[in-house]
């Protein structure tokens, strides 16, 4: 099976490739399917996807539920990690710290970013994440820390 980033590059070169990749990605980690992520861009050190404001992800006040937003941010972080982790290394989420800065009243763009220097040595890698409303307002921002280690030799 090809790795996630290779699959993304292959499928997105085809017509309807991004929707197909988005579906497959959400099936690989089924919990992501709850927000129906639409992958927009994946490259080393950057990933972005959108999640629609729809009834299934809304809270009692009609905004996108905070946990649904975090689900989208974690999906973006996972795409970034898959595209960025050096060969011979692996990653796992370690923690998430986020601040809710505005109401999530529209569809959202979820982004994840790192700096190349963050990946030079194994250890903790801070992934900056943001969820942005259609009017450009950041509604959630924070850091997801992932732990990067060398793969065990087989």
Domain enclosing residue 129, as ranges = 4-150
DSSP letter for 34, please: G
Q: What is the structure's pLDDT at 28?
A: 86
The position carrying tokens 């006040």 is 61
pLDDT tens per residue across span 66-106: 999 999 999 999 999 999 999 999 999 999 999 999 999 99
Please check whether residue 141 is in contact with residue 98, taking contact to mean a CB–CB distance below 8 angstroms.
yes
The pLDDT score that the predictor gives to residue 2 is 59
Distance CA 99, CA 142 (A): 6
65: domain CATH number is: 3.10.129.10
Residue 134 DSSP one-character state: T
Domain count of the chain? Answer: 1
Q: What are residue 22's phi and psi, to 5 degrees? A: -55, -45
Q: For residues 113, 116, 122 and 125, what is the CA-based torsion angle, rounded to 10 degrees?
A: -20
Task: Compute how many other C-beta atoms are within 10 angstroms of the C-beta atom of residue 61.
Answer: 8
User: What pLDDT score was predicted for residue 153?
Assistant: 81
Residue 1 has pLDDT above 60, yes or no: no
Looking at residues 17-26, what average pLDDT do you find? 94
Question: Is 0.75 surpassed by the pTM of this model?
Answer: yes
Residue written as token pair 């087989």: 154
């Amino acid at each position: 099976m090809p790795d996630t980033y290779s699959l993304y590059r292959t499928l997105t070169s085809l017509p309807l490739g991004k929707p197909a990749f988005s579906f497959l990605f959400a099936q690989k980690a089924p919990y992501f399917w709850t927000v129906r992520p639409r992958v927009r861009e994946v490259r080393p050190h950057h990933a972005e996807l959108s999640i629609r404001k729809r009834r299934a992800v809304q809270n009692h006040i009609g905004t996108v539920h905070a946990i649904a937003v975090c689900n989208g941010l974690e999906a973006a972080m996972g795409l970034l990690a898959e595209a960025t982790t050096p060969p011979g290394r692996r990653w796992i989420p370690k923690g998430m710290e986020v601040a809710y800065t505005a109401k999530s009243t529209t569809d959202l763009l979820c982004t994840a970013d790192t700096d190349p220097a963050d990946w030079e040595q194994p250890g903790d890698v801070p992934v900056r994440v943001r969820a942005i409303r259609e009017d450009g307002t950041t509604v959630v921002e924070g850091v997801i820390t992932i732990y990067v280690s060398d793969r065990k030799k087989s």
